[in-house]
Amino acid sequence: MDNPTIKEIARRAGVSKSTVSRIISGNGYSSPEARNKVLGLIEELQYKPNAVARAMVSQRTHNIGVLLYRRDLPIASHPFYGKIVDAVLLEAARLNYSIFVTTDHDMSYRSADFMIEKRVDGLILISRLQQNVIDHITNFGIPFVMVNGSTDVDGVIHIVNQDEEGGRMVAEHLTQTGHKRIFVIAGPQSHRSHHLRLRGFLTSIRQSGIQESNASIQSAGTSTFGEGYEIMRREWNQFREGGYTALFATNDMLAMGAMKFLLEQSVRIPEQVSVVGFDDVDFAAMFSPSLTTIKVDAGDMGTKSVHLLDQLIRQEQNVEHPSQLVPRLIVRQSTK
Amino acid sequence: MDNPTIKEIARRAGVSKSTVSRIISGNGYSSPEARNKVLGLIEELQYKPNAVARAMVSQRTHNIGVLLYRRDLPIASHPFYGKIVDAVLLEAARLNYSIFVTTDHDMSYRSADFMIEKRVDGLILISRLQQNVIDHITNFGIPFVMVNGSTDVDGVIHIVNQDEEGGRMVAEHLTQTGHKRIFVIAGPQSHRSHHLRLRGFLTSIRQSGIQESNASIQSAGTSTFGEGYEIMRREWNQFREGGYTALFATNDMLAMGAMKFLLEQSVRIPEQVSVVGFDDVDFAAMFSPSLTTIKVDAGDMGTKSVHLLDQLIRQEQNVEHPSQLVPRLIVRQSTK
DNA sequence: CTGAAAGCGCTTACAG
DNA sequence: CTGAAAGCGCTTACAG
């Protein structure tokens, strides 16, 4: 019933625990006879080494904690962050780490402390989180990388997208296709990415010689589908009477929410209104009409974060901060 | 830099490790003076108990492994399974467990063994998996529950939805709204849920006196959006010429894929064709038109699985197998 | 090539 | 109320 231990194997093989340990790890010498007997026993008794005991002596758990700060569900299944998590899971398995996924809506120390107590080898922090949590973690000297968040602290390994550049690409796409009056739904400006996307967009619009007054900017309190829908519903009269021919939302979910309301008003997309989002969540390609957007490579973010964290854990020298990920315009059915 | 240990606390407080341990755990007696000094030191030195060492002696890690068998991405971010994972994460935190999320496309022993070596207290197995993996896990006497999979093994705690009943509800909804010729996209029949949904649907259709020949059944090789789209594209002529007024797919993603193709052919939904899916993934309510579907309470599945597993882990007597979850018809814009 | 010993950081009887 | 000792399951020098 209970898993056999190294001690049981040793007893049955008539050797010492040390010998069994050496044979299992492949470190140090062992005679062929001892090896055969031990290996046979391991097979027969289905011996599984106890990773807890190993962690105890090696001071390494080979576990990584993923901390995802979100106020509400979905979390792991979030259309954007979920893709990061998936990539983290895959890359971690490849590098022989196990992943603790933890969520927290308090942005408190609680879950960070929990991971510290579990003695994870390192931490991946996803989404925005407060400075004091970063300080707290730094304080314990545990390696971590930050993904798609924002921080001013020097030396923090920090994987982000070139959001400002992406905003510029949206503006160019829309102005080049002849749009002059553009309606904008801007996600929470306290978020680094929403802020930069809007800024890049506006800068570029201005450079194209379009008056600021030709862009109506609506502030979204959250960055959800429901919020996009609501804003469009609320601003429907202004939108219709303003002669807007294009809509840009700083993420896909806001864009699709707004789009759904427009479709319900029988607005034809893209014939009457062009719509552009940001992120390229899976859903963007599925929506009808499919959504033109800026692709942020969430998978790459996840993969890189594990890779970098692994280097930090192994204390490699000169781990290079990755340059920011390059966004890409994906033109689909929602613009023309 | 390094985390202080109980030994360090003891040394500074001038007491023994035993005393410190007692004070921390609250088990056993301790003098107020000792308590004050120790607690002060813990605060001052930011002592965090080492969960690895604790697990070593208590033989309990307070970790749970979630095994998700999926051939392809998305995994954690899967529209349906992701919701289960989210609920698991939440409920686990509430019961003070940490969650290892693991994925595997091999359906091999590999990841199961990995979790066994990590000495998780229990396992949550999501989606279909092979009998031999179940046997393997059972063999180690580690508690587990299965979610939305299928097994014939007695005594396996097994959380599923009343899929056959759901299939019936779809048939009733469509026949009651006057549909006679129904096009069906049936997901992989090796999957318990797809199989039962189709069976329930067909049984009910027959009872309504509709000839089997009035239902065209297309087998889908996978259960994805892309597959739904492709099938509809391939069968477009048959669909159009067959005079079908309704479409039922055994899950939402297939339904929405098919729906997207129909919309691209300017088919008006629901005026010309009614569409029904199954699952109620978040996306179903967002699609335009929003999708009528059968709600499978993924959140409830996740919550229940943790709750049950916790009872197994704590070796509670007469843990009751939950009855199957009750599905619910949600009528949206895609049917009339 | 092998075994005895010490130790990783805790907890838990046990004796005082 | 407190401390010494043993032990959880391993690994790692060290001596032989």
By C-alpha distance, the chain A residue nearest B254 is A286
A48 vs B140: CB contact, 8 Å cut-off?
yes
DSSP assignment of A97-130: -EEEEEEESS-SSHHHHHHHHTT-SEEEEES---
Which pairing describes strands A328-330 and A293-295: parallel, antiparallel, or unpaired? antiparallel
Nearest to B14 by CA among B45, B33, B46, B50: B33
pLDDT of amino acid B107: 62
* A17 CA: nearest nucleotide by C1': C3
- How sure is the predictor about A154, in pLDDT bands with cuts at 50, 70 and 90? confident
pLDDT at A131 over 90: no
pLDDT of amino acid A273: 97
Contact yes or no for B254/B277 (Cβ under 8 A): yes
D6: residue with closest CA to C1': B57
B286 vs A50: CB contact, 8 Å cut-off?
no
Residue B112 CA distance to nucleotide D2 C1' (Å): 44
Query: B63-160+299-325 with B163-296: one CATH topology?
Result: yes
A98 vs B100: CB contact, 8 Å cut-off?
yes
By C-alpha distance, the chain B residue nearest A253 is B286
**Residue A330 to chain B, least CA–CA distance (Å):** 18
Torsion of CA A106, A108, A109, A114, to 10 degrees: 0
Residue B118 CA distance to nucleotide D8 C1' (Å): 15
Which pairing describes strands A63-69 and A122-126: parallel, antiparallel, or unpaired? parallel
A89 vs B82: CB contact, 8 Å cut-off?
no
A46 vs B140: CB contact, 8 Å cut-off?
yes
Backbone Cα Rg of chain A? 26
Backbone Cα Rg of chain B? 26
State the architecture of A163-296 in CATH terms. 3-Layer(aba) Sandwich (3.40)
Residue A112 tokens read as 């960070």
Q: In this structure, which topology does domain B6-58 adopt according to CATH?
A: 434 Repressor (Amino-terminal Domain) (1.10.260)
Please list every residue in chain A whose beta carbon sits closer than 8 Å to the beta carbon of residue B102: 89, 93, 98-99
- How sure is the predictor about B97, in pLDDT bands with cuts at 50, 70 and 90? very high
C7: residue with closest CA to C1': A57
* CB < 7 A to strand D: residues 23-62, chain B: 28-34, 53, 56-57, 59
pLDDT in tens, A2-14: 789 999 999 999 9
pLDDT of amino acid B320: 79
pLDDT at B96 over 70: yes
Distances (CA, A) of B111 to A307, B88, B103: 20, 19, 7
- How sure is the predictor about A106, in pLDDT bands with cuts at 50, 70 and 90? low
* A313 CB-near residues (< 8 Å, 6+ apart): A121, A122, A143
> Which of B63, B76, B113 minimises the CB distance to A89?
B76
By C-alpha distance, the chain B residue nearest A136 is B46
Backbone angles phi, psi at B188, to 5 degrees: -45, 120
Cis peptide, bond prior to residue A74, ω within 30 of zero: yes
Upper half-sphere CA count for residue A252 (Cβ side, 13 Å)? 28
| CA–CA distance, A82 with B303 (Å, rounded to integer) | 19
Please list every residue in chain B whose beta carbon sits closer than 8 Å to the beta carbon of residue A103: 89-90, 93
By C-alpha distance, the chain A residue nearest B49 is A117
- How sure is the predictor about B106, in pLDDT bands with cuts at 50, 70 and 90? low
pLDDT in tens, B255-292: 999 999 999 999 999 999 999 999 999 999 999 999 99
Contact yes or no for A74/B82 (Cβ under 8 A): yes
B76 vs A61: CB contact, 8 Å cut-off?
no
Residue A164 tokens read as 């400002």
**Residue A274 to chain B, least CA–CA distance (Å):** 16
Domain ranges of chain A: 6-58, 63-160+299-325, 163-296
Nearest to A307 by CA among A287, A325, A329, A322: A322
A116 vs B52: CB contact, 8 Å cut-off?
no
* A29 CA: nearest nucleotide by C1': C1
Contact yes or no for B70/A86 (Cβ under 8 A): no
- B12 Cβ contacts chain D strand, under 7 Å: no
pLDDT at B45 over 70: yes
Residue A198 tokens read as 């809007």
CATH 3.90.1820.10 given to domain B63-160+299-325:
no
pLDDT at B71 over 80: no
Please list every residue in chain A whose beta carbon sits closer than 8 Å to the beta carbon of residue B114: 98
The answer to whether the Cα torsion of B219, B222, B223, B224 is positive or negative is negative
DSSP lists the bridge partners of residue A328 as: A295
A263 vs B102: CB contact, 8 Å cut-off?
no
pLDDT in tens, A276-325: 999 999 999 999 999 999 999 999 999 999 999 999 999 988 887 777 99
H-only helix segments in chain B: 6-13, 17-25, 32-45, 51-58, 81-94, 110-117, 131-139, 163-176, 192-207, 225-234, 236-241, 252-264, 282-286, 298-313
pLDDT at B2 over 80: no
pLDDT of amino acid B131: 79
| CA–CA distance, B71 with A189 (Å, rounded to integer) | 38
pLDDT of amino acid A33: 85
> Which of A49, A139, A260 minimises the CB distance to B286?
A260
Please list every residue in chain B whose beta carbon sits closer than 8 Å to the beta carbon of residue A76: 76-77, 82, 85-86, 89, 101
